[in-house]
Amino acid sequence: MEDPLAKLQKMEEQYDRLIKDFGASPLKEVKGVPSFRTFRTGLMYSHRDFDKFMKALKEGKKCAIVSGLNPSNPLHIGHKAVFDTNLFFQKEYGVDVFIPLSDDETYVTRKVNTQKEALSNAKVIAKQLLALGFDPKKTYFIIDQIYTNIYNLAVKFSRQVTISMAKAVYGYTDENNIGLFFYPSVQSAHVMLPYLFGYDSVLVPIGIDEDTHLRIARDVAPKFGLKKVSVLHSKYMPGLDGGKMSASKPFTSIFLLDNLSEVKRKIKRAFSGGKDTVEEHRKLGGVPEIDVAYNYLANYFLDEKEAKKVYDNYKSGKMLSSEMKNLLYQKVEKFLMDFNKRLNKLTDKDIEKCFATNSKFPLIP
């Protein structure tokens, strides 16, 4: 098994590569970064033109966030960093949030068998997202089977997205279906849609693995007289097994719809930075940097003072891995109970009011 600290170092090198090889900028160089958890903990790591977005925001200009996902699987705790950040901007600055739920991508990538299934999944995800606390009057879900106007915009952008570009960026071959080659145009339409309705600046918070999508969109924008969207990159959070979190591997993730007994079981089995025996742990201490429970606590639930205390106690051996996991379970339990209370109050009509529709956002051909 690969040494966990070596694995952590490789991940840091991947973050640095986005800056060194692909032209992103370190977020720490931006002045006036918000004092919000995801910025303070370093979860938000690098950016493209985030300083321009913040400038527009502070000048009172009309700004929007676009931040979506592929609705092939339910929401899990790994989505928390990006959507907590989106919520911060909506609550603090009143920013409108557009959330593409790419049901068509789910279908063309064969993650579901039918378009009907993709649409159903998107509606389920929309309900979960609204239950996280988004303002229904300032949140718009873009589901392409519903908001079909998106394709008119995508067709326009398609004139500037070539087959060679899609092959170079995504590694597609002649054996891939044609829907995959067209989809970068759809994604560009998603992120630039707010510009067509009078927004001055658009921010797209993403995981670093999604930067390829945004590089194409930013390349296309000036060719149509549009501003390049700003981008904010989030670090990965480890899966429960210490590897990469994956919705397709349920044991690596805590899903928002998991029952509490399942959550407790998953946390109990989470990868630990502790020693093999209590005696050894008390003597030598644990390694919080690779401990999954500590990472979740420090990045999602504890303030800096609390996280520092937990770090020191674990490092010294005063705190055991079982105690760390129990503390995480307490925090996750409260988070999920609050989430489910809000979820159970929402109706289908509540969600439908937030759908972007052709009449709500008409596009002129």
Domains and CATH numbers, the chain: 4-240 (3.40.50.620), 250-344 (1.10.240.10)
The mean per-residue pLDDT over the stretch 300-328 comes to: 97
Distance CA 244, CA 60 (A): 39
pLDDT for residue 293:
97
The mean per-residue pLDDT over the stretch 166-170 comes to: 88
Residue 352 CA, chain-centre distance (Å), reads: 23
Tokens of 140: 């718009």
Count of CB atoms situated within 10 Å of the CB of 222: 11
Confidence class for position 74, pLDDT limits 50, 70, 90: confident
Strands 96-100 and 63-66 turn out to be parallel
160 vs 14: which has the higher pLDDT: 160
Render the burial of 27-53: b for 16+ CB within 10 Å, e for the rest.
beebeebbebbbbebebbbbbbbbbeb
The mean per-residue pLDDT over the stretch 212-221 comes to: 92
Q: Which SS3 state, helix, strand or coil, does residue 172 take? A: coil
Confidence class for position 17, pLDDT limits 50, 70, 90: confident
- In the predicted model, what is the mean pLDDT of the chain? 93
The string of pLDDT tens digits covering residues 228-270 is 999 999 998 889 998 877 766 778 899 999 999 999 999 999 9
Q: What angle do CA 114, 184, 68 make, to 5 degrees?
A: 70
Strands 230-234 and 44-48 turn out to be antiparallel
pLDDT for residue 161:
92
Confidence class for position 8, pLDDT limits 50, 70, 90: low
Q: Which SS3 state, helix, strand or coil, does residue 352 take? A: helix
pTM for this model (two decimals): 0.93
Q: What angle do CA 333, 292, 253 make, to 5 degrees?
A: 60
Distance CA 312, CA 298 (A): 12
Q: What DSSP character marks residue 203? A: E
Distance CA 212, CA 224 (A): 20
Tokens of 39: 């910025």
In this structure, are residues 150 and 144 in contact, taking their beta carbons and an 8 Å threshold?
A: yes
Tokens of 100: 């593409």
The mean per-residue pLDDT over the stretch 288-293 comes to: 94
pLDDT for residue 137:
96
Backbone angle region of 334, left / alpha / beta, with phi > 0 → left and psi within -120 to 50 → alpha: alpha
Distance CA 77, CA 332 (A): 9
Confidence class for position 2, pLDDT limits 50, 70, 90: low
The string of pLDDT tens digits covering residues 93-147 is 999 999 999 999 999 999 999 999 999 999 999 999 999 999 999 999 999 999 9
pLDDT reading at 365 higher than 70? no
Distance CA 277, CA 264 (A): 21
pLDDT for residue 243:
82
pLDDT for residue 213:
86
User: What percentage of the chain has pLDDT greater than the value 70?
Assistant: 96
* E-strand stretches of the chain: 25-26, 44-48, 63-66, 96-100, 139-142, 201-207, 230-234
Tokens of 129: 């997202």
The mean per-residue pLDDT over the stretch 278-295 comes to: 95
